[in-house]
Amino acid sequence: MKKYLKPIPRRKFLKTGITGGAIIATLPVWKLFSFSAPPSDFHVNPAVNLSKETLEKLIKIALQHGGEFAEVYVEYSVGNQIFLEENKIYGAGRGVDMGVGIRVLHGEKTGYAYSDDLSFEKLKQTAEVASHIAAEKEVKEPVGLKSSKIPSYYLVKVSPDSIVPQDKAKLLWKANSIGREYDKKINQVNVSFSDTNKKIIIANSDGIWVEDVQTLSRFLVSINVIKGDKRSRGYAYKDGTLGYEHYDLKVAEEIAKDACRMAIAMLPAESAPAGEYPIVMAKGHCGTFFHEAIGHSLESDGIRKKTSCFWDKKGKEIASKISSLADDGTVLGARGSINVDDEGTPSQNTILIDKGKCVDFLNDRLNAKLMKAKLTGNGRRESYQHYPLPRMTNTYLLAGEDDPEDILKSVKKGIYVARIGGGNVNWVTGRFVFSVPEGYLIEDGKITKPLKGIQLMGSGPEVLKNIVMVGPDLEILGGGTCGKDGQGKPVSDGNPTLKVSKITIGGAKV
Ligand SMILES: [Zn+2]
């Protein structure tokens, strides 16, 4: 099959194609794979088997005007979704994308071009476009490509892409019936299963040649309850770099029950009080806070450009002594885990804050080079159409030693944040506003009434100093798609039970 991807002279291709039918002859080679019925398992697709020699040629062309560094990124991805709404399978879809991105670095400048046509002629033009970022007389000779072996942090035995939609639909129906039976007040159950399966090849002028197959799957249940003038929502999901063997009817039932529990618990919620209160964050469900309010400000592009509130804080105390923060792309099966980043750097665990002290930043290749820092495996891109940026993987607050029960008992009046929701963060100042889709009042060390309309307000650097208790029960759960400069990327996060001594709550009641 590999022969399809070698450059075939057009005349010869037409001749070969016509014997198979006129339609084939009118399509560029790669489209035969992406638009005709795809194989049931994308692993067998030969489309991205561009040979090493071809990639070496492209790197050479990309360096022809004296660029310092050149890289070719090849991607083939298949995405599947199936939804259930209003007691019926509402839709199912499958999308295939494929292309090559070529990047040339020269000083602070990046030349980037991409093509979704994999003919050698088009790829050559793409490399030429990227090469023009440099205009030097001296041309660098690239190092010959050598494949590197990488460990695997994914938990995938059965590719979700090999499962027919009818089978995935059984999970959706199970969750739907659990939701409908759970409580008569439930009047909306939405369920979905989605997976993306991506094969990438990265080759560069330093001689790196690495391949990775990245699988992401997600099963999501969302419940709505309307009773009189009260309404509430619950949701739960399972996701990660997980194969289909991690999903079955029992999992569907557990996820559905968790979503129902939340929706019913929040139905009688009263308006949250406004003012300054201590808060307790529940283990596992509040990591988004650390990702959004802290992690983004430790990405090296903002550090280099001095637009981050932490740009001059390396080696300095930025948090309480019991707070340590990591970004770790090697957590088995987590949504943000990667074997290599999208520049071919092996994934790693980077401690960013160590016992209160800022010790490191998250680097991609360009910023590492300009700041003379080491690579941390955080150069990530959404697809072949995008160049890499420093991005997080799985970001979490490390475990501490305080008993979670003692943490709760220590609060006379405060807010228990069971889950943190969406937010708004200014990465320059670190100021944030987060919603809390599930939160409760704490009275005399006990969780009491559910509260609605809780908004956490403050600044990331301020909260870091006010973390006064941290439990040992770290959990890294779920996650989402992080957006930065128009690029979405899967991430996860986590936290142990913890207490922040004071935070401003924007609520309805004063
Ligand atoms: Zn983010």
> How does pLDDT run across 454-506, given as a tens digit for each residue?
999 999 999 999 999 999 999 998 889 999 999 999 999 999 999 999 999 98
Residue boundaries of the structural domains of the chain: 2-76+97-146, 160-267, 275-506
Give the C-alpha separation, 466 to 482, whole Å. Answer: 26
pLDDT of residue 492: 97
Name 504's bridge partners: 276, 457
Tokens read off for 259: 């979503």
Q: Write out the CATH class of domain 160-267.
A: alpha beta
Question: What spacing in Å lies between the alpha carbon of 481 and ligand 1's midpoint?
Answer: 7
Question: What spacing in Å lies between the alpha carbon of 296 and ligand 1's midpoint?
Answer: 6
pLDDT of residue 408: 98
Question: What spacing in Å lies between the alpha carbon of 88 and ligand 1's midpoint?
Answer: 33
Give the C-alpha separation, 400 to 73, whole Å. Answer: 40
Question: What spacing in Å lies between the alpha carbon of 482 and ligand 1's midpoint?
Answer: 4
The ranges of the chain with pLDDT < 70 are 1-49, 508-510
This prediction's pTM: 0.89
Question: What spacing in Å lies between the alpha carbon of 422 and ligand 1's midpoint?
Answer: 10
Alpha-carbon distances of 357 from 198, 294, 324, 352, 353, rounded to whole Å: 37, 13, 8, 8, 5
| Tens of pLDDT, residues 313-340 | 999 999 999 999 999 999 999 999 999 9
pLDDT of residue 13: 30
Question: What spacing in Å lies between the alpha carbon of 313 and ligand 1's midpoint?
Answer: 21
Question: What spacing in Å lies between the alpha carbon of 479 and ligand 1's midpoint?
Answer: 10
Question: What spacing in Å lies between the alpha carbon of 368 and ligand 1's midpoint?
Answer: 20
Q: Please give the mean pLDDT across all residues of the chain.
A: 90
Closest CA to 427 of 311, 284, 285: 311
pLDDT of residue 501: 98
Closest CA to 153 of 351, 383, 393: 393
pLDDT of residue 429: 85
Which residues make Cβ contacts (< 8 Å) with residue 75, sequence separation at least 6?
48, 97, 98, 99, 100, 101, 198, 199, 200, 383, 384
Question: What spacing in Å lies between the alpha carbon of 291 and ligand 1's midpoint?
Answer: 6
Question: What spacing in Å lies between the alpha carbon of 58 and ligand 1's midpoint?
Answer: 33
Question: What spacing in Å lies between the alpha carbon of 483 and ligand 1's midpoint?
Answer: 6
Question: What spacing in Å lies between the alpha carbon of 452 and ligand 1's midpoint?
Answer: 24
